[in-house]
Structure 1
Amino acid sequence: MSHVDAVFDGEPIASLERPIPREWPLFPNIRTNAMKTLWLVRHAKSSWDDAALPDRDRPLADRGWREVAKMGKRLAQRGVKPDLILSSPATRALATAEAIAKALDYGRKYIVVDDRLYACQADDLLEVVQALGDQPKSVLLVGHNPELSEFAHLLSSEITHLPTCAVAEFRFATKSWAEVGKIPPERVVLDYPKKKGRGAP
C-alpha cells in the first residue's frame, strides 16, 4: 500500500501518490463555505489481551466498542457530516473510523487511510492537514496519542489531553486548509465518552 489509500471492505480502492491529489474521494455532501471544520478523534480503547500482536494490529477492546458507539451517536445527533474521513492504518484507529462513519451514514468506501497518521509527530499531522487544499470543507481525522493531543494543543491551548475516543472540534474562518495552524480557531469543542451531561453542543 502507498502512504495514502482509500479502502472498501478491506481492499484498497484508490492509491493516492504524493503530492496530495487535487481531487479527494470525498463523500458527496460538499457545500461551498468559507469555514473549515476539523474533528480530531483519538481511537477508542484498544485491547492488550494478545501481547504477541504488533502494536499496529491491536484491535478495539469491548470498552472501546462501547466508547465509539456512544461517540458516534453523539456526533450523529449533532448533525456532523464530514466531507472526508482520514484514518491511521492501525487496526484500532480504522475500526474507530469505520464505526463513526457508519453512525454518520458516511459511505465506508470514502474512508481514506493515510500511513502518515501512524507513529508520527504533531508537526506531521499539521502538514497533512495543511496539504488538504481547498476542496474538502470538513475533515474528520482519526489518530493516536501522544501526537494527536499535542496537535490539538498546538491548534488551541484550551486542549491539553484527548482521552480515548475523544473528539476535538476546531472551526476556522478560512477557505484554505493551508491557514490551519497559522490562525486561531473560531470554535473549539471537546467531547469524550466520560464527559458528564449530553456531550458537546
Structure 2
Amino acid sequence: MSIDVPGTEGYAEYAAALANDWHKISFRDHHQPVLHLIPTAPSRILDVGAGMGRDAAALASMGHAVVAVEPVDELRAAAIDFYPDSSVVWLDDSLPELRLVRERANTFNVVMVTAVWMHLDEAQRRRGMGTLSELLDDGGLLIMSLRHGPVPARRRMFDVSAADTIRLAEAHRLQLVLNVCSDSAQQANRNRGVIWTRLAFRK
C-alpha cells in the first residue's frame, strides 16, 4: 500500500538495507529515554509505523498484546522474516486515519509513534492526533519521537517542533508527561547532526 501513502517515499526501495541497519540497534538502546514508561503488566499496545518489527516484537516478548501498523509492504515482509514466531498482529494501515485499526474497535493502553510524525504535513498531523487520542484508553500513554536535522534524499519530512506537537496533543485531551532530547542511536545520523525529541502524553 505504500505507493499511495505520502511520507513513505524512499523506504520501499531501500527496505532491506534499512531493516538490517535498524535490526542492529536493540529496542532497549533505542528507547532508553522512555523505557520507564513501558508497562510491566500485560497491556494492549499499538505500534504505528512499526518498520521492520523490532519494537513490536520486543513488546510482544514482554507479554503485551501488540498491533503493529506499517504501510510499506517490504518492511512488513522483513518484519515477518525477522520475527516469524512473534504474536504481533500486522496491519497494512497508516496515519492519519488508521482505518483498519479503528475498524477493529480496539483501544490501547499505550500507543507508540516512533520516527513517524515528521512524515505528516500539518493537516495530517491535526487529523492524526485526533485519531491517536480516540484509540487511547483513559489513562493510556502516547509515546512519540520527533526527528530534527537534515532530510535524507528522496524522503518526505517536515520540521515539526516539540512545542507545536505539545499544543496539538493538549487540544485532544492529552497531557504532557515527558519531553526530552536525545542523540540519534545511529552513528551515521549523529554524524549528520540528527537529534530526537521524545514526548509522552497521558490521556
User: Relative contact order, CA 8 A, sep 6+: which one is greater?
Assistant: 1
Q: As a proportion of its length, which structure holds more helix?
A: 2
Flag whether TM exceeds 0.5 (same fold).
no
Q: TM-score, normalised by structure 1?
A: 0.39
Q: TM-score, normalised by structure 2?
A: 0.38
